[in-house]
Structure 1
Amino acid sequence: MKPTTAISRRLIIYLGITLPLLWILTAIISAVAVMHEINEAGDTQMSQLAQRLLHTPINLNSSQYSALPSIPKPQRGLIDAKESGYAIWYKGKLINADETGQSIPYQPDYQGFINQGYWWQSHAWRIFYLNSPQQQLKVAVSFSMHERLQTVLRAVWSQLAVSILALPLLLWLIAWSVRRGTQPLQTLAQTLYHREPHSITPLSNIAPTEILPIINALNDLFQRIEQSRARELRFTADAAHELRSPLAALKVQTEVLALTSLNDAQQQRVRSIEHSIDRTTRLVDQLLTLSRLDPLTELPHTEAVNWTDITNDAIESVCLLARERHCRILRQFNTDAATVLPICGDHTLLTILIRNLLDNAIRYSPEHSIINLTLNTNSISITNPCNDIASENLKRLRERFFRPAGQESSGSGLGLSIVDGIAQLHWLQMELDIVKIKKYKNETINFQVKLQQKAS
């Protein structure tokens, strides 16, 4: 399934697109409103100027244009001499006009506002015509529509300049707020990422209301997993316990049978039965060990490890098997015993770990082999002769119940799984390797298990 875009990223993208669009829409609405206000103010001032011109005394007998008294600039408001013009007609004859007003067309039958050209054209004008009560005198005042547009743009820019400059900061604040708001989700993800695989401890419900359903669902899932796992472990433990009693009885009966007078064929069958019972008993013991080991996510109590005592106990527990197969265990300290792989752990579990490794080494080595147990400052290794193992099988040896094809020795395929589980609890790393040693023309193949601390 292809992963979707992160929620925080989508929120940032949506808000990053929506806000500028809203800002543009606001700017357009503001520009329309400002243009309406400026047009009303400009039209009002044009009509007031026309009224003032209409009531200004003019020498109508002069053959030349009479000079009108100048209108002070503060009284013109939006109207400026370069942007406006005026013209006065008497009985249809132009009697007074400024330079711009001389180009104003005469409209004898029109009174009011009229636009000449379009607002985006630089030569467009808005003209206001006003007649005297006797209809003999006509006044026209013009104003540049392009200049009025520039006034609108300046007014809009003065309002929006701060917003434009603040837009990057606003977008950054949005991104920061979104990331801050989704921080509980990231915290939850990190908590789950760093969680131990077997941990079913409920998650803390101290979280925003929106995340509580997820946390509650996860806690419910953890609880159901724990219940299911507990049922499986109970079944395994109960089954293993129930099997131990009949197996012990069968073992006793077989030993008694072996003491009776039997021919060679019958003795061979009895030994085969004993071998099967031993294998089944060993499988039951390993299942019991797994049933105790699987629920553990951490060691209940630890102490400084004494590898001398641990290896002594482990060697003692497999010495009978070693004698049966005529194998010899050679323990070698390459450092002082007190400095061997200094860790804190559980003595019983580590004894099981070394015992299982030695047990596997003895069972899967040819008879009369030497098993090397080497203890170093940073590692412990067990090496034994073996047949060559394919690399794909070597990777699967940790899997439960996996046994490579062609194995002559009996086994259940659980030994290395138990070792790996105990090693994980002690933060140890188990490395499996095939070591080939050439001596003269002969080549010996050794299987090596190496234990060392995980890199922090």
Structure 2
Amino acid sequence: MSSLRRRLLLWLLPATFLAGLLASIGTYWGAVLELDDLLNDHMRYLAEHINVDPGERVVLTDTGKKPNPLSDDNADEVLLQVWSAGVLSFTTDSGLTLPPPRQTGLSDVQVGDQIWHTFVSQRGDKLIRVAQAQNKRWEELAGLAVHLLWPVMSLIPLLALFLWFGISYGLKPLRTVATELSERNVNSLQPIASKELPGEVKPLVDALNDLLERLANAFTMQKDFIADAAHELRTPVAALSIQVELAQRATLDEDRRISLSEVQAGVTRLTHLTQQLLTLARLEPDAQSPIMQGVDLSDLCKSVISDQVRRAEVSGIDLGLAEHAASSIWGDPETLRILLNNLVDNAIRYAGAQSKIDLAVRETDQGFVLEVCDNGPGISAADRERVLERFYRGNNQTGSGSGLGLSIVKTIAEQHGAKVVLDTPSNGAGLRVQIIFLSKSEN
């Protein structure tokens, strides 16, 4: 299993070491320039404070706190020469010969494989040269490099230790959240306290809390759905059981035929209820999102009328499209067909024989309106809001419906950003259901 702590350590340690190395190199380079200037100033100081008396005796005047370059300890640090008329009259190293100086000031002199850094000062007819071999400077720089780099190298184990415990402390809130989640069960969906958490962990915990809230809502809806479905299925199943028992006890063929007819009607109602329950379950918020596309509402009305017209004719119902406009919305054609089929099915069930059902599609300032209007008994104003709830039948308790049709209509409308409005037609009789699509298609 991949470790976040190990991953952070593998990134932070090399990065810290590289930063320390670059800082040391930068410091070293700056120190090289400073040391070079310092050594040049040192040679200049020596050359300017050397005094040669007429007896060719060389002395260092005004030594102050400066070291004596002619002492035994500093004899190998610098080379001191006195030139007179191009002839070497004094040197601190008789075994080393440098060419006569040609100019005053700082200059480099190549002698064999060695480069000498020199400073020449003129005193009357005498030239005083102070020189230092390049390798001596490199020895100074090498020592400086060691002094700069060894702290970085020696601090790596200590830095790794601090990073290890620092990362562990930084990851402590994640372990706290993990521990809290591991101690919960399916019924413990309360949000995780995020007030005291660091800003980097809080978005993760907020997302988890949002998921827990949605799961809690889904479980609650599922429990309610199962309870309501069990309650609704109990009545038709009990009725079927009674009718089957009556058919078994019947001694006359007519009584047996009536009981079997009731069984057939009960099976039909139970099948319709089961189909409605399956449809409603498929439309739950956590179900797969439908695929949206352009849907022509007028064509949808014509298709649904074609499917339902034969059933309407059996009851002598006049089913047709009263008004239609060129209309196209952005939606799922399958669920919209379910919506309209439920509206027409409810109208056929409750409008009564010899009634009239008109479908219409209009364009208004709000958007496109899909309308199903009948001249049946309608729904009282007090029940119009509640009939959109599951299993509520209102004043149609004696009907053969399941109480789910309008609930399905409401769910599909909400998926399409539409609004469901129930009212009475302008003639004052029946029921008019309007589905108002608040935005038009983006074709």
Question: How many angstroms apart in 2 are the aligned matches of 1:106 and 1:240?
Answer: 116
Aligned residues: CA RMSD: 3.8
Question: How many angstroms apart in 1 are the aligned matches of 2:84 and 2:166?
Answer: 71
Stretches of 4+ aligned residues off by more than 4 angstroms? 69-73
Does residue 34 (structure 1) correspond to residue 31 (structure 2)? The answer is yes
Within 5 Å, give how 1:280-291 maps onto structure 2: none
CA shift for structure 1 position 46: 1.2
Does residue 112 (structure 1) correspond to residue 105 (structure 2)? The answer is yes
Deviations 1:211-250 (A, max 9, x none): 2222122212211222122222212211211222333233
Gaps of at least 5 residues in structure 1 are: 60-65, 285-456
**Secondary structure of 1:74's aligned partner:** coil
Letter in 2 for 1:148: R
Gaps of at least 5 residues in structure 2 are: 275-443
Match of 1:51 among 43, 48, 53: 48
Question: How many angstroms apart in 1 are the aligned matches of 2:49 and 2:236?
Answer: 126
Deviations 1:112-144 (A, max 9, x none): 1112359xx983321111122x4x211111112
Percentage of matched positions with identical amino acids: 25
Equivalent pair of 1:90/1:138 in contact (CA under 8 Å):
yes
Equivalent pair of 2:69/2:77 in contact (CA under 8 Å):
no
Does residue 217 (structure 1) correspond to residue 207 (structure 2)? The answer is yes
Match of 2:247 among 251, 257, 260: 257
Question: How many angstroms apart in 2 are the aligned matches of 1:58 and 1:195?
Answer: 102
Question: How many angstroms apart in 2 are the aligned matches of 1:100 and 1:147?
Answer: 19
Equivalent pair of 1:87/1:102 in contact (CA under 8 Å):
no
TM-score under structure 2 length normalisation: 0.51
Question: How many angstroms apart in 2 are the aligned matches of 1:174 and 1:217?
Answer: 29
CA shift for structure 1 position 182: 2.0
Match of 1:180 among 169, 172, 176: 169
Does residue 128 (structure 1) correspond to residue 119 (structure 2)? The answer is yes
Question: How many angstroms apart in 1 are the aligned matches of 2:178 and 2:192?
Answer: 11
Question: How many angstroms apart in 2 are the aligned matches of 1:77 and 1:235?
Answer: 105
Letter in 2 for 1:89: W
Does residue 232 (structure 1) correspond to residue 222 (structure 2)? The answer is yes
Letter in 1 for 2:168: R
Match of 2:76 among 82, 87, 99: 82
Q: Identify the residue that residue 15 of structure 2 maps to in structure 1.
A: 18
Match of 2:197 among 207, 215, 224: 207
Number of matched residues? 259
Deviations 1:366-409 (A, max 9, x none): xxxxxxxxxxxxxxxxxxxxxxxxxxxxxxxxxxxxxxxxxxxx
Question: How many angstroms apart in 1 are the aligned matches of 2:159 and 2:12?
Answer: 10
Equivalent pair of 1:104/1:142 in contact (CA under 8 Å):
no
Question: How many angstroms apart in 1 are the aligned matches of 2:238 and 2:247?
Answer: 14
CA shift for structure 1 position 35: 2.0
**Secondary structure of 2:164's aligned partner:** helix
Deviations 1:55-105 (A, max 9, x none): 22142xxxxxx5645899933399921232121111111111122674121
**Secondary structure of 2:106's aligned partner:** strand
Q: Identify the residue that residue 310 of structure 1 maps to in structure 2.
A: none
Letter in 1 for 2:153: I
Equivalent pair of 1:127/1:142 in contact (CA under 8 Å):
yes
Does residue 191 (structure 1) correspond to residue 191 (structure 2)? The answer is no
Equivalent pair of 2:70/2:92 in contact (CA under 8 Å):
no
TM-score under structure 1 length normalisation: 0.49
Decide whether aligned partners of structure 1 residues 179 and 117 sit closer, same or farther in structure 2, where only a CA change above 3 A counts: farther
Question: How many angstroms apart in 2 are the aligned matches of 1:257 and 1:187?
Answer: 66
**Secondary structure of 1:105's aligned partner:** coil
**Secondary structure of 1:128's aligned partner:** strand
Question: How many angstroms apart in 2 are the aligned matches of 1:239 and 1:253?
Answer: 22
Q: Identify the residue that residue 165 of structure 1 maps to in structure 2.
A: 154
